[in-house]
Structure 1
Amino acid sequence: MAVFGTVFMPTMALTRFENDTWTETEFVSADSIQMHPGAHVLHYSSTCFEGLKAFRHEDGSINIFRMDRNIERFAQSSRLLNLPEIDKAQVEKMIIDIVSTYSAEVPEPPGSMYIRPTHIGTEASIGKAAAPSATSMLYVLLSPVGDYFAGGLKPLRLLLDETGMRCAPHMGMVKSGGNYASALPPILKAKADVQADQILFCPNGDVQETGAANFLLVDGNEIITKGLDTSFLHGVTRATILQLAKDHGMTVSERDITVEELLERAAKPSAEAALSGTAAVLTPVGTFIHNGKEYQVGNGEAGPVTMKLRQALNDIQWGKAEDKHNWLVKINPT
């Protein structure tokens, strides 16, 4: 089985922003792009992307999950990086058209077709360190993927880091490659030093997110997560899980939470914690590591609320439960 996200469909949808307008969409080979070595993205990281999925239902139909929300965030990231404003209608059509082209390649559940829209600054100017790229390229890649946790869903170990941050505070809500790169050194150190799977960044005791996923705490009938601000990513899966929690009668609290409160609540036998993201869906957390000590979350295993919400989301994505919020877009295969 190929490693998640390493297999790609042979063509992709592509458009360029040139002379203050977007070009007609092209369908080109997915194994290369042409770009000047002085391109803005290669020197000043003018890049953002999205991650969403298309699912095959039992009736054979192909359905894209929460495309509108992902396109809105894609537009927001592009604006915050001062990349050219995207044409949301064109991007939607690019996604639908390329998924339709490869509809026969969408795997059966628990697999899916991972969709990766990407926007990069292409102007060849190494003198623009303090100015935006006037030109850009936007493309949509497809990658058929299996279960992210093919080896089994085991609870994660998180190092609570009160000294560092995932990225600059004003950049947290931008889905940009540089944010992921900046989080790598502390994550790799945490893996080597304390065998942590991830770092939960808690600058000055403020519980935020990990290097690649949002964080959720479950205490009885309450689900707690940091309220939206610019410092962390506004996850689409996070928003979906919170809505499903409300649908199940849970209390949703979006507010600041300190490391002290987190450890106090995690000590309860019924406590649960989880990470949310497009690839991992909802992943249980079993252990916190803080100041050299390990703290078990609840009973240390995947909790019933986490698994119930994960299943509820999967059931909608796979067409096994009613889509009450109109999150799915059914496409017509070509």
Structure 2
Amino acid sequence: MSSSISSSDPETHAANGKRVPYGLLLAIVLVAVIEATLSFVDTPIDANGIFLPDDRPPTVVETIMEIKLQAANTTGTAPDVLLLGDSSGLMGLDPRVMSDHVGTSVFNLCSISLIGADGQKAMLERYIRSHGRPRVIVYHYAPHDLRYTAADLAEWQFRRSMFLWLAASDGQAVAAELRDSPQFRLLPSQRFRNAAQGRLFFVSGHQRNLSLPRGLFGSHNELVAEVSDQDGFLQEVNKDETEQPRDLDLTMPESQEVAFDELLDYVDEIGVPIFFVSNPLPEYSKTRATLESLRMQQRQLKRITARHERAEILFPEQRFLPRESFATLNHLRPLSAVVNSKEVAMALLSARTMSSATDAFLLSLLAKSKSLSAKR
């Protein structure tokens, strides 16, 4: 009998069954290494995932940023009057009210103060790229929010996320400094699965998050519809309960001055006049310390606007209103927002700049306003 064992022997099959599948394991390791390597390579990302996270409902501020960036990025026709600035303008300037008084088109692109003036400049640049130039820009700001430093804005990261959104919407790769952000460090297969899931017909958890209520402001989807119907305006729903006098530090840091200068350099370059409008302050903040700080801020703004031929301060004196007019320190209640919108519209009609072209446009607005008043 031969000493060799036949390949058909049952014991041989058992031994073969215990062999480690080195080829398969090697393939798995190679795929893992390739995916891990590619996940750190600069790759285009979905801009929608930046302010609309997959694992929770977006905050109201995230919703606002998504709405405004989408508005800036979507192709359209520029209005005659474009409103730019922080949330005091978002909730304090109603384009429909202003349009009724100036007789021309108005759109509200105001967002939040946490992106800084350089963030507002970037949003304006994108809006003009998509829509063309407006005839006039109104920059509405809350005096108390001009105190933020560059370190403050970096800590809150809204400015950083906004610049990433703008880059991602153009299909640009994720910058190297963002590779440590977990939401962007995805394996290639994960990117494929995310894209595939987004095309399925059932309602995903992400879509449910966009429909979940968030207290007084409602869901993300409700807020999107509301702002769209109101030409970029959002009504404030809170109520200021402050009773005691409050000192405010309104001094601008150097970084804000530099950012404003860069914004106005761009406005000078495109040849569009810009009017600065300070949001009213509550009377409870009208203390000696606040007034002293306010005078310093006003001097800073005057120095900045004096360096730019297209810039002008629309209200030389700070406006103060009763506490009942405010929803928060920086936000007007809806009825007060109507009054503010009318005041800004009427001040805009009477404004004059060094540009004859601007004078002609403002005079035409004034003529339209008188015509509308006569019809009423």
TM-score range, shorter chain: under 0.3
**TM-score normalised to structure 1 length:** 0.27
Scaled by the length of structure 2, the TM-score of the pair is 0.25
Q: Which has the higher contact order (CA 8 A, sep 6+)?
A: 2
